Amino acid sequence: MNDIIAQLEATIQARINTADENSSYVSQLHNKGLNKILEKVGEECTELLLAAKDYENGSDRESLPKEAADVLFHMMVLLNHLGLSINDVTQVLASRTQQSGLEEKASRG
Ligand SMILES: N=c1c2ncn([C@@H]3O[C@H](COP(=O)(O)OP(=O)(O)OP(=O)(O)O)[C@@H](O)[C@H]3O)c2ncn1[C@@H]1O[C@H](COP(=O)(O)O)[C@@H](O)[C@H]1O
């Protein structure tokens, strides 16, 4: 796993464990609960879509990677809030590397 992702995950887990709302955005979000986290993930996904359109039409070439980072970060907070990890996601991706997406689709029948 990418070092930054692994480091970020360790920080997210530490913030969830210490749950110090005053000094931590992750702790705040974790304490607010699943609905608030899902709201943030939804918001960030919408911002990602808008940034992708702006990137394509050339009006904004800066925001797309930042919005993608926001989505990834909030998805990691979501996974960790529920006791999962980005490792659970990379394991799924790894298990899919032996098959093309089209083969997988055809195998569903
Ligand atoms: N990568 C991030 C990161 N990306 C985005 N954000 C926060 O996510 C929020 C994004 O929400 P919005 O853009 O909607 O901004 P907002 O209007 O302030 O949000 P709300 O008031 O609606 O919650 C902002 O507060 C950002 O600061 C992040 N906050 C933290 N991290 C990482 O998480 C680590 C732990 O952070 P703390 O828990 O704050 O210590 C940090 O060291 C960083 O590495």
**How far is the centre of ligand 1, averaged over its atoms, from the C-alpha of 60 (Å)?**
22
pTM reported for the whole predicted model: 0.92
- Ligand 1 centroid to Cα of residue 74, in Å, is 8
Domain that includes residue 22, residue range? 3-107
Q: How many structural domains does the chain have?
A: 1
How many Å apart are CA 93 and CA 14, to the nearest integer? Answer: 25
Instruction: Kindly list the protein residues whose Cβ atom lies closer than 6 A to any atom of ligand 1.
Output: 8, 11, 15, 24-27, 43, 70, 73
CATH code for the domain of 53: 1.10.287.1080
Q: Which residue shows structure tokens 């899902």?
A: 38
* Residues constituting the chain: 109
Q: What tens digit of pLDDT does each residue of 34-62 get?
A: 999 999 999 999 999 999 999 999 999 99
Sole residue written with tokens 């989505």: 71
Best residue among 9, 15, 21, 25 to mutate for probing ligand 1's pocket (most ligand atoms within 8 Å of CB) is 25
Full DSSP string of 26-55: HHHHHHH-HHHHHHHHHHHHHHHHHHHHHH
pLDDT above 70 for 78: yes
